[in-house]
Amino acid sequence: MLELTDEKIKFLEKRANEIRESVVKMLYEAGSGHSAGPLGMADVFSAFYFHILNHRPEEPEWSDRDRLVLSNGHICPVRYAAMAYAGYFPLDELNTLRKLGSRLQGHPHRQSLPGLETTSGPLGSGLGQSIGMALAAKLDQKKYRIYCFVSDGEQDEGNHWESVMFAAKRKLNNLTVLMDRNNIQIDGFTEDIMPLEPLRQKYEAFNWHVLEINGHSIEEIVDAVNEAKAIYEKPTLIICHTIPGKGVSFMENNYLWHGKPPTRDEAMAALKELRSLGGKIQID
Amino acid sequence: MLNPELHLNPDIFSETPKKAALRDGYGEGLLEIGLENSDVVALSADLEESTRAEAFAKKYPERFFEVGVAEQDMVSIAAGFGVSGKIPFVSSYAVFSPGRNWEQIRTTICYNDSNVKIAGHHAGVSTGADGATHQATEDIALMRSLPNMKVFAPCDAIEAKKITVAAAKIWGPIYLRFSRNPSVVMTTEETPFIPGKADIFWLPQNNKKPDVAIIGCGQLVYQCLLAAKALEKEKIQTLVINCHSIKPLDSRQIVAAAKKSGAVVTVEEHQIAGGLGGAIAELLSEENPTPMEFVGVRDVFGESGEGEELIKKYGMASNHIEKAVKKVLRRK
Ligand SMILES: Cc1ncc(C[n+]2csc(CCOP(=O)(O)OP(=O)(O)O)c2C)c(N)n1
Ligand SMILES: [Mg+2]
């Protein structure tokens, strides 16, 4: 990973904002899909695709690439947007999301689009697959890392915790999990639907190394990933505290935006807000 | 012609027939049976609104249980309710329940013979834009193979409501299958409904002998009726049977229809393997071997798109049924 200069941080923040704009446009075009999760994770995706990941967009199957597994597949619009900006496919294609014949399926389909690593959408099975990849890397003595993105609602699934135990048993230090801790799921706030706290202590009790960061701070994201790389005896969980719907005030922190797209007017309002926010970020 | 005895919706063949979603019928039925019987309880796995358990949850909060995104836990909890005098209804998407939690259903519900009703929503490719991960096309096969389990796939919102109410009154494990989007309402409140009975929705005019029996389930029964109407113009006489009960099958009605017509086409929004067609093939090969054609998903996954567009692309629209009828007639 290259050094994170102030200039690079500014670039990544700007990119995150461009990704957010694309997410809003895509969802409006598609007429269905999820808004809150993708907007909340835009900074993390910007940091990964444009700074952290060791990858080759023009050669998505490059065998030494880092693997990014998206377990909470419903937030795929943010991944698709980041991939398009990174050069995996043309930006125009983003408008085909969820349409018949599109490579951008409503939930990610591995065989449809190179670079996705796994098919997902059904929650709670990304970590198990990531463990398989991490073990394979060890068997092959490969240096690439596996990053598994999970959500907080997904922590309700029992099979996820089977994987949590296993990763610790095998001390999978080439595996880093990033959790979108945005406190919402479909039916409400996570602590009302199925209380998760104390999350940090739960993972620590399961023998994981746990870090907690502001998921909108590029610096904190990059620092935490660097720290995870330096932890040899355990897998690491980075709890990314995020604001669902981040950047669009009327969506922020409202679980009703989990699974719906903006209407035309809402999309216009959202884009206006994101553009002025873009102006704020590019200070000089 | 439409069976005059069944009080079917006379508007079926209009340009804009009345539509309603099966899941809404489920929600209404659940609310109704909740009022009638205080032993009815409902469980949801973070999908309260889209599975339409919401109205019940609001009305009877003390009998509603939100388990979080945990389908395996949900059916195990329901199994405990079911052996304790309660009548639990569990709602999720069919790919997750009964997909993800199949073994828990097998052991804790079926082998336990616990009185649980499983509502599987978003069945079929018509689920649409969410894509194949969310389109259940294998759930009938999964449930049909389980001892003690009954499997019902209603054809429209009104039948969905009736079947939900009926399920609470029939003892034992029951799987109820519902599709997502509004579809044509073929029946009316007056249409007689007996759980387990396959009804003849369409029959030849003037008591003519049918050339083929088209047996369907779910919203595709409407496509069967469209096909029957078109075929009648070509002098091909059909019976269309709404087979809402895939298990148990109404074997008397189905065998009689096969004998009378000498050819059968089955229609379902499900894989050909193990679904309604498979069940009928099993029955007929033992009782009355009959040439058959199967309309359904042919060993592939669906994809994102609009519901109706996907029904066409995956070969389950009325023109595909007409083709299947002509093919089976050549084999008589
Ligand atoms: C196994 C499974 N069960 C149910 C669902 C339906 N579902 C999709 S997203 C979701 C909510 C999960 O919460 P979270 O991922 O935290 O949502 P977000 O923060 O992105 O709004 C549910 C229940 C699913 N995709 N997979
Ligand atoms: Mg969440």
pLDDT at position A281 over 70: no
Nearest Cα neighbor of A76 from A98, A51, A54 is A98
Q: How confident is the model at residue A1 (pLDDT cuts 50, 70, 90)?
A: low
**Which residues, listed in sequence order, are joined to residue B183 by a DSSP beta bridge?**
B20
Those residues whose C-beta lies under 8 Å from the C-beta of residue B213, and which sit 6 or more positions away, are B238, B239, B240, B241, B254, B257, B258, B260, B261, B263, B264, B265
Q: Which of A35, A74, A180 to mutate to test the pocket of ligand 1 (most atoms within 8 A of CB)?
A: A74
Query: Please, are residues B247 and B144 in contact by the beta-carbon 8 Å criterion?
Result: yes
pLDDT tens by residue, B81-95: 999 999 999 999 999
Spot the catalytic one: B28, B54, B71, B159: B71
pLDDT tens by residue, B258-277: 999 999 999 999 999 999 99
pLDDT at A276: 81
pLDDT at position B228 over 50: yes
pLDDT at position B227 over 70: yes
A124-A130-A135-A136 Cα dihedral, nearest 10 degrees: 130
Asked if B100's CB is within 8 angstroms of A122's CB, the reply is yes
pLDDT at A278: 54
Q: CA angle, corner A279, sides to A274 and A284, nearest 5?
A: 155
Ligand nearest to the CA of A251: 1
Mean per-residue pLDDT for A202-224? 98
Distance from CA of A187 to the nearest CA of B (A): 5
Q: Which of B46, B47, B130 to mutate to test the pocket of ligand 1 (most atoms within 8 A of CB)?
A: B46
Mean per-residue pLDDT for B283-293? 98
pLDDT at position B289 over 60: yes
ipTM: 0.92
Mean per-residue pLDDT for A170-184? 98
pLDDT at position A283 over 50: no
**Which residues, listed in sequence order, are joined to residue A147 by a DSSP beta bridge?**
A68, A176
CA of B316 to the centre of ligand 1 (A): 30
- Before B98, cis peptide (omega within 30)? yes
Tokens of B49: 């609104």
Instruction: Quote the percentage of chain B above a pLDDT of 90.
Output: 100
pLDDT at position A212 over 70: yes
- Residue B177's φ and ψ, nearest 5 degrees, are -115, 125
Sign of CA dihedral B99, B103, B107, B111: positive
pLDDT at position A240 over 70: yes
A123 touches chain B (CB under 8 A): yes
pLDDT at position A38 over 60: yes
Residues of B in contact with A101 (CB under 8 A): 303, 305
Residues of B in contact with A156 (CB under 8 A): 45-46, 67-70
CA of B243 to the centre of ligand 1 (A): 33
Q: How confident is the model at residue A3 (pLDDT cuts 50, 70, 90)?
A: confident
Query: Whose alpha carbon is nearest atom 16 of ligand 1?
Result: A153
Q: How confident is the model at residue B144 (pLDDT cuts 50, 70, 90)?
A: very high
Asked if A100's CB is within 8 angstroms of B47's CB, the reply is no
Strands (E), A54-184: 67-70, 146-151, 175-181
Q: Is A216 helix (H, G, I), strand (E, B) or coil?
A: coil
- How far, in Å, CA of A222 to CA of A219, rounded? 5
CA distances (Å), origin B304, targets A102, A280, B67, B311, B320? 8, 37, 29, 12, 21
pLDDT at A63: 97
Query: Please, are residues B51 and B118 in contact by the beta-carbon 8 Å criterion?
Result: no
State the first-to-last Cα distance of chain B, in angstroms, to the nearest integer: 23
pLDDT at A282: 43
Distance, CA of B49 to chain centre: 21
Q: Tokens 């979080």 map to which residue?
A: B68
Quote the mean pLDDT of chain A. 96
Classify residue A27 as left (phi > 0), alpha (psi -120 to 50) or beta. alpha
Mean per-residue pLDDT for B13-17? 96
Quote the mean pLDDT of chain B. 98
pLDDT at A284: 33
Mean per-residue pLDDT for B278-287? 98
pLDDT at A199: 98
Sign of CA dihedral B39, B45, B46, B48: negative
pLDDT at B164: 98
Q: How confident is the model at residue B120 (pLDDT cuts 50, 70, 90)?
A: very high
Q: Is A163 helix (H, G, I), strand (E, B) or coil?
A: helix
Pairing relation of β-strands B174-177 and B150-152? parallel
Asked if B305's CB is within 8 angstroms of A186's CB, the reply is no
B55-B61-B62-B64 Cα dihedral, nearest 10 degrees: 60
pLDDT at A33: 98
Domains (ranges, CATH) in chain B?
4-14+192-329 (3.40.50.920), 19-184 (3.40.50.970)
Reply yes or no on whether B232 is catalytic: no
**Chain A residues 55-74 with CB within 8 Å of chain B:** 73
Query: Which residues have CB atoms below 5 A from the ion given as ligand 2?
Result: A 151-153, 182, 184
Among A105-109, A174-178, A277-281, B60-64, the least confident range? A277-281
Classify residue B250 as left (phi > 0), alpha (psi -120 to 50) or beta. beta
Asked if B47's CB is within 8 angstroms of A186's CB, the reply is yes
Enter the DSSP assignment of A95.
G
Query: pTM higher than 0.90, yes or no?
Result: yes
CA distances (Å), origin A65, targets A47, A58, A132? 16, 12, 16
Sign of CA dihedral B76, A37, A74, A177: negative
Instruction: Quote the percentage of chain A above a pLDDT of 70.
Output: 96
- What is the chain A residue with the closest CA to B133? A121
Q: Which residues line ligand 1 (CB under 6 A)?
A: A 36-37, 72, 74-75, 121-124, 151-154, 182, 184-186, 244, 258; B 46-47, 69, 96, 100
CA distances (Å), origin B269, targets B3, B178, B220, B325? 24, 11, 7, 17
Domains (ranges, CATH) in chain A?
6-275 (3.40.50.970)
pLDDT at A180: 98
Classify residue A32 as left (phi > 0), alpha (psi -120 to 50) or beta. beta
Query: Please, are residues B120 and B255 in contact by the beta-carbon 8 Å criterion?
Result: no
Residues of A in contact with B306 (CB under 8 A): 100
Tokens of A89: 């496919």
Tokens of A20: 């957010």
CA of A153 to the centre of ligand 2 (A): 5
